[in-house]
Amino acid sequence: MKLDLWLLDISYDVINKDIPEIRMWGITPDGRRVVVLDRSFRPYFYVVPKTPEDAGKIAEVLKRRYGDRILKVDITDRKYFGRSITVLRITCKIPAHVKFLRDRVKEIPGIADVLEADIRFYMRYMLDNNIYPCSWNTVEAEEVPNKENWQVDAVYLAKQPPLRSEREDIPKLKVLAFDIECYNPRGTPKPDRDPIIMIGIATNEGDRVILKADDLNDLNIIREFIALVRKIDPDVIVGYNSNRFDWIYLLNRARRLKIKLNISRANSEPAQSVYGHFSILGRANVDLYDFAEELTEVKVKTLENVADYLGVKKKNERVLIEGAYIYKYWDDPDKRSQLEKYLLDDIESTLGLSEKFLPFAIQLSSIVGLPLDQVGSASVGFRVEWHLMRHACELGELIPNRIERPYATYKGAIVLRPKPGIHENIAVLDFSSMYPNLMIKYNISPDTYVSPMDYRGEEDVYVAPEVGHMFRKYPDGFYRRVLKRLLEARKAVRSKLKDLEPGSPEYRVLYERQRALKVIANATYGYCGWLGARWYKREVAETTTAWGRHTIRDTIDLARKLGLRVIYGDTDSIFVVYDKAKVDELTRIIRDKLGLEIKPDKIYTRVFFTEAKKRYCGLLTDGRIDVVGLEAVRGDWSELAKEVQEKVIEIILRENRVDRAVDYVRDVIRKLESGKIPLSKLIIWKTIGKELEEYEAAAAHVSAARKLIEAGFKVDKGDKVGYIIVRGSGRLSDKAMPYIFVDSIDQVDIEYYIKKQVVISALRILEYFGIREDHLISEKRQASILDFF
DNA sequence: GCCTTGAAGTTACCG
DNA sequence: ACCGGTAACTTCAAGGCG
């Protein structure tokens, strides 16, 4: 029978010792949860002989030595960086044999390279058969008995691999959000010491469950959790930071209590896998934190902050509990209900975030081809790489190995020195997808590169400005083909969007799709200059930025020739005094002469620059204030300093009243002096960017982190530490105290907050208008300093 | 021994 | 574990001065 399958998850196992069985877990159009098996596919890899003539001999050696593992050896032709080469394709019985052979085979004389031997079997299957997760696939299959008692409506055996289908809808997925709370009287909870005290579950079908431990015995809630997940049988399980915390903790506790966390559709435990995610067979386990990380507007990415920012659950409409004190709410019978409410708010927030992030995750998965549970935990580089691998396979190009490379840099983009002060009526003209379009235009790709050694003068090449690298004009390079497809696909999706009702489910799907396409296109340049990339080529990255500099310089010259006054520019944008006719003319010439698109992106009624590059603020024509690069948008300044700068900017841009801005700042300083500013606004957050032992300098956040560790808390690389500067002597770093240890404003070094936070962030703007520190510090304070002397 | 200065270390931003 | 360009902070050691 023919079967349509929306692919949710894919796995494999080896049956009868030597048959690899691909398992495609998915959903049918009538809403059944099924698994389709395919036993017809075998793993393989390639061997590149030093000379094509050696191929036959190598094949003989391979078969003689490893005949028990090798099914067959084919000598065939493939493309490698655009060139046709002869390779041996070695098909093995089971995936483990590829791993076994790939290192041993290298020892055989006459072998230049081993390729595609590091690709997971189920990815190999999807790659070769052009099967995409989170997409519809059609397969000819027959139903077989559910021998293993998997949690599905039916098991099918495929007669041949599925084919991608045209259907674009997304089936209704059953989503389960969960969160755990642990007992933590001694700092960060440890699974070998501290039990789980509560587990919360929420589903998109309205279920809300709060499980509670029997005092400090968590055996029953873990059992109940397992039973509940199985009963609800979700397609997607979401958590917040679940791959780095909840699953590890749950598995650890379960192991200690000698129970199995068998919640997968194959009745197995979550298992840690590639990119650090936990795989739950037959379901998609998605850690929403991975997607929250991309929200640069939220600086401290706690669940509360992210949910608040996205309007999922406002902070003032929920229970907030300081994480370190959770145990107190458990121990105190009067407070325990608050903890329950807190957990309920958390799981509802998590569920709410899934509505915000899953549509994008699904599109990303269907574009780059990584399963839904992996696509979030894979870094940007790996997402781009899988997208490239998909296309390489389709184009018959061999996939290069990941190799270690020595450190190397190259020149990047141009940033213009801004003209300081206030400018009125400024248009920001932006190139659309500049780097991808330049890579397409000049056919910049590893396979079209012509080294000076190889260049004989007869080839038609583009020569890059400044750096002189050459790239063949034809045929189309790998990056050109891939990027063209991406940009064209995005264009097509966007034109479809125009005919849809914003707010409709179809609109949402396509909107997220075009967004995912854009993200991948824009990250491809960065990828090609990444030392860890399979398709790394310094010349490719270097040439792209060289053409970028050339293009923006030409654009500036042209703009000036047309009589446009250029006040600033960065990489792919120029800020000009807005004259519609001249801007239209510029746009037209760039389109006709360069084949690139430049258009007004934003228009500022007024915009303010200091001497610094990459930092400015402006009043947009729609009345909104835009702050770029300044303290107000940085995560490593106190809320107070940011708020002050924001208000100052607002007063200057909207009212143009320096005196009022000064009054405002002085008022804030008075409040600070009289203890009327809440401690929460004084916290400074900074990321621990490396292992604590590796720090050479005594930095404030590191010192605060050490104080946390002293008190039993765990601080890992990548964590953000929040601290307050308290009174005392010595270096600033000595006075950095984790905020949870500060409970009174009397402990705070008010002087620091005045001079190094409020005044500095205010003067960043006001200095241009002739204001200095002593204008901002109130008379009372000055008097007190005088008195002191 | 104290103060100034500039390099180094560090983070987070822009596009 | 995506790039380079940039600003800005604190620390720290060297250099200058007396």
**Angle, CA A675 vertex, CA A672 and CA A679 arms, to 5°:** 85
Tokens linked to A98: 């590829």
Rounded to 5 degrees, what angle do the CA atoms A605, A609, A613 make? Answer: 130
Cβ contact A697 with chain B strand, < 7 A: yes
How long is the CA A774 to C1' C16 vector, in angstroms? 30
Q: Which residues contact residue A393 at a Cβ distance below 8 angstroms, ignoring those fewer than 6 apart?
A: A127, A128, A130, A399
Tokens representing A664 are: 């405002």
Distance CA A460, CA A777 (A): 67
Specify the pLDDT at position A785. Answer: 41
Å: A687 CA to B10 C1': 10
Q: What is the pLDDT of residue A745?
A: 96
Cα radius of gyration rounded to whole Å, chain A? 30
pLDDT band at A778 (very low <50, low <70, confident <90, very high): low
Pick from A700, A683, A674, A392: nearest CA to A533: A392
> Which nucleotide is nearest to A382 if distance is taken from CA to C1'?
C1
d(CA A225, CA A245): 16
Spell out the SS3 assignment of A706-766. Answer: HHHHHCCCCCCCCCEEEEEEECCCCCHHHHEEEHHHCCCHHHECHHHHHHHHHHHHHHHHH
Q: What is the pTM of this model?
A: 0.96
Distances (CA, A) of A69 to A56, A90, A91, A538, A571: 19, 10, 9, 39, 54
Alpha carbons A650 and A643: distance in angstroms, whole number:
10
For every residue of A401-457, DSSP letters joined together read PP------------BPPP--EEEEEEEEEEETTHHHHHHHHTT--TTTEE-TTT--S
Give dist(CA A766, CA A769) in Å, integer.
Answer: 5
Indicate whether A788 pLDDT > 60.
Answer: no
Cβ-contact A108, A388 below 8 angstroms: no
For C10, nearest residue by CA–C1' is A699
A163-167, A510-514, A515-519: which range is least confident on average? A163-167
Residue A96, Cβ density class (10 Å: 0-12 exposed, 13-18 middle, ≥19 buried): middle
What per-residue string of b and e applies to A694-718 under the rule 16 or more CB within 10 Å gives b? ebeeebbbbbbbbbbeeeebebeee
pLDDT grade, residue A458 (50/70/90)?
confident
d(CA A247, CA A255) in angstroms, rounded, equals: 12
Q: For residue A606, what is the enclosing H or E element?
A: strand A598-609
**Reduced to 3 states, what is the DSSP secondary structure of residue A236?**
strand
- Nucleotide at minimal C1' distance from the A522 CA: C2
Is pLDDT above 60 for A640?
yes
Q: Per-residue pLDDT tens for A152-172?
A: 999 999 999 999 998 989 999
A642 touches strand B (CB under 7 A): no
- Whether A283 sits with its Cβ under 7 A from any strand B atom: the answer reads no
Å from A768 (CA) to C3 (C1')? Answer: 33
Distance of alpha carbon A356 from alpha carbon A292, whole angstroms: 10
> CA at A700, C1' at B6: how many angstroms apart?
21
Query: Is strand B less than 7 A from the beta carbon of A432?
Result: no
Which nucleotide does the CA of A730 lie closest to, via C1'?
A: C11
Q: What mean pLDDT do residues A674-693 have?
A: 96
- What are A13-26's pLDDT values in tens digits? 999 989 999 999 99
Q: Among candidates A592, A607, A598, which has minimal Cα distance to A434?
A: A598
**CB distance A541 to A529 below 8 Å:** yes
Residue A391, SS3 per DSSP:
helix
pLDDT of residue A314: 97
Determine contact, residues A598/A587, Cβ cutoff 8 Å: yes
Cβ count within 10 A of residue A785: 10
- The residues, any chain, with a CB within 8 Å of residue A452's CB and separated by 6 or more, are A470
> Which residue carries 């399958």 as its tokens?
A5
pLDDT at residue A654 tops 50: yes
Q: How many CB atoms lie within 10 A of CB A621?
A: 13
Q: Per residue in A406-416, pLDDT tens?
A: 999 999 999 99
pLDDT tens digit sequence for A728-777: 988 999 999 999 999 999 999 999 999 999 999 999 999 999 999 989 98
What is the edge-to-edge ordering of all strands in the sheet holding A720-725? A684-687, A720-725, A736-738
Q: What is the pLDDT of residues A345-371, one digit of tens each?
A: 999 999 999 999 999 999 999 999 999
Residues with Cβ within 8 Å of residue A296, at least 6 apart in sequence: none
Over 60: is that where the pLDDT of A781 sits? no
| Residue A6 CB partners (closer than 8 Å, separation 6+) | A26, A27, A28, A134, A135, A136, A137, A170, A171
Length of chain A: 789
- Rounded Cα gap, residues A153 and A563, in angstroms: 70
Question: Looking at residue A422, what is its pLDDT?
Answer: 97
Contact A244, A230 (CB under 8 A): no
Question: For A254-270, what is each residue's pLDDT tens digit?
Answer: 999 999 999 999 999 99
**Separation CA A154–CA A31 (nearest Å):** 12
CB of A297 nearer than 7 A to strand B: no
Q: pLDDT, tens digit, for every residue of A531-566?
A: 999 999 999 999 999 999 999 999 999 999 999 999
Q: Which of A9, A256, A5, A1 is nearest to A150 (CA)?
A: A9
Question: Does the structure show a pLDDT above 90 at A787?
Answer: no
Q: Do residues A545 and A411 touch, judged by C-beta distance below 8 A? A: yes
Task: Please answer whether residues A353 and A259 qualify as being in contact, where contact means their C-beta atoms are separated by less than 8 angstroms.
Answer: no
Is nucleic acid strand B under 7 Å from A628's C-beta?
Answer: yes
Residue A731: CB less than 7 A from any atom in strand B: no
- First-last CA distance in chain A: 94
- Bases in strand B with any atom closer than 7 Å to a protein CB: 8-15
Asked if A193 and A255 touch (Cβ cutoff 8 Å), the reply is: no
What's the rounded mean pLDDT across residues A610-634? 97
Q: Hey, is A63 helix, strand or coil?
A: helix
Separation CA A117–CA A401 (nearest Å): 9
| A570 contact to strand B (CB, 7 A limit) | yes
Footprint of strand C on the protein (CB under 7 A): A 379-382, 409-415, 523, 525-527, 529-532, 541, 545, 571, 610, 612-615, 697-700, 731-734, 756, 760, 764
Q: Which two tokens stand for residue A734?
A: 């000595």
Give the Cα-Cα-Cα angle A572, A465, A555 (nearest 5 degrees).
Answer: 35
> What number of helices (H) and strands (E) belong to chain A?
23, 29
Mean pLDDT value across residues A577-597 = 97
Handedness of CA A290, A293, A294, A295 (dihedral sign): positive
Strand partners, A617: A608, A627
Residue-wise pLDDT tens digits, A201-239:
999 999 999 999 999 999 999 999 999 999 999 999 999
List all nucleotides in chain C with at least one atom under 7 A from a protein Cβ: 1-12
User: What's the one-letter identity of residue A378?
Assistant: A
pLDDT, one tens digit per residue, over A462-494 is 999 999 999 999 999 999 999 999 999 999 999
d(CA A706, CA A719): 13
Beta bridge partners of A616: A609, A628
Q: Please give the DSSP secondary-structure letter assigned to residue A397.
A: B
The tokens of A557 are what? 């010259």
Q: Are residues A578 and A427 in contact, defined by beta-carbon separation less than 8 angstroms?
A: yes
A665 CA, B2 C1': Å apart? 35
CA of A730 to C1' of B2 (A): 16
**pLDDT for A316-356, tens place per residue?**
999 999 999 999 999 999 999 999 999 999 999 999 999 99
Question: Percent of chain A scored above 70 by pLDDT?
Answer: 98
Q: Nearest-5° angle of CA A476, CA A478, CA A482?
A: 100
Cα(A51)–Cα(A537) distance, integer angstroms: 25
Q: For the residues A520-527, what does the mean pLDDT come to? A: 97
Q: Is the CB of A544 under 7 A from strand B?
A: no
Bridge partners, residue A421, by sequence: A609
Confirm whether any atom of chain B, the nucleic acid strand, is less than 7 Å from CB of A701: yes
A661 CA → C1 C1’, Å: 45
Give the residue with minimal CA–C1' separation from C2: A526
pLDDT the model gives residue A457: 82
For the CA of A394 and the C1' of C11, the distance in angstroms is 54
Phi, psi of A367 (to 5 degrees): -90, -50
Q: Which nucleotide is nearest to A414 (CA to C1')?
A: C5
Q: Tokens 């696939």 identify what position?
A: A137
- pLDDT of A779 reads 60
